[in-house]
Amino acid sequence: MTRAAKRVRLEDVAAEVGLSSASVSLVLRGVAGPSAETRERVLEAAARLGYRADRSASLLARRRTHLLGVPVMLRDAFRAELAEEVQLAADAVGYMVALSAVTPVHDEARVVETLLDLRCEALLLLSPALSPAALAELGSRTALVVMGRRVAADGFDVVRVADDVGIAIAVEHLIGLG
């Protein structure tokens, strides 16, 4: 196994163009101030060196990760599709999604703890199997939304389809058909 290449840091780009790290940071964040020539030099050097912003470090410096944790059973097509929609919605508001697979070896409780260890700001559980007591305890520790499960919300939010209303409409429709 070969050793991974050293990650190019902001300071490396700054040294390459002879500017302060603060000036390079302004350019890379798209903040007004640096001249067009400076922007061009910094962006060219960053591209040439292979610089990639360390989003984790910048978000942690602001004490926010903008990271939503979603445990998902990938073999369940419905939940996998919901996870895709979560990703699209999160993208639209500038959040990242950490998906973690629930498997026979990695049960939901273990996956939830892993996502919390990754500093997810909130968890979105898709039809969770956790007990109501476990959900309440989890809701006391972090922002939590439970989807697709009829459970009394004690310290967390629940989003679910009004199955009873849908079934009543379907039955009325079938009766109307004769």
Instruction: Report all structural domains of the chain as residue ranges with CATH numbers, in order of start.
Output: 10-53 (no CATH), 64-163 (3.40.50.2300)
- Average pLDDT score, the chain: 88
Q: What is the pLDDT of residue 102?
A: 94
DSSP-derived letter for residue 68 is E
Look at the block and give the residue holding tokens 């969770």.
128
User: 111 falls in which pLDDT band (50, 70, 90)?
Assistant: very high
Residue 109 has pLDDT above 90, yes or no: yes
Q: What is the pLDDT of residue 62?
A: 65
d(CA 69, CA 124): 6
Look at the block and give the residue holding tokens 């942690």.
60
DSSP-derived letter for residue 102 is -
Structure tokens at 131: 């007990």
Can you spell out the DSSP letters for 114-162?
Answer: HHHHTT-SEEEEES--S-HHHHHHHHHHSEEEEES-----SSSEEE---
Q: What is the pLDDT of residue 3?
A: 57
- For residue 115, give the nearest of 68, 57, 80 by alpha carbon: 68
d(CA 137, CA 113): 12
Residue 1 has pLDDT above 70, yes or no: no
Q: What is the pLDDT of residue 138?
A: 95
Model-level pTM greater than 0.75? Answer: no
Residue 173's φ and ψ, nearest 5 degrees, are -65, -45
Q: What is the pLDDT of residue 56?
A: 65
pLDDT in tens, 8-61: 888 999 999 999 988 988 888 888 888 999 999 999 998 999 998 876 666 666
pLDDT in tens, 48-83: 999 988 766 666 666 778 899 999 998 888 888 999
C-alpha separations of 174 from 22, 101, 162, 170, 177 in Å? 68, 39, 19, 6, 5
Look at the block and give the residue holding tokens 């959900």.
135
pLDDT in tens, 132-159: 999 999 999 999 999 988 888 778 999 9
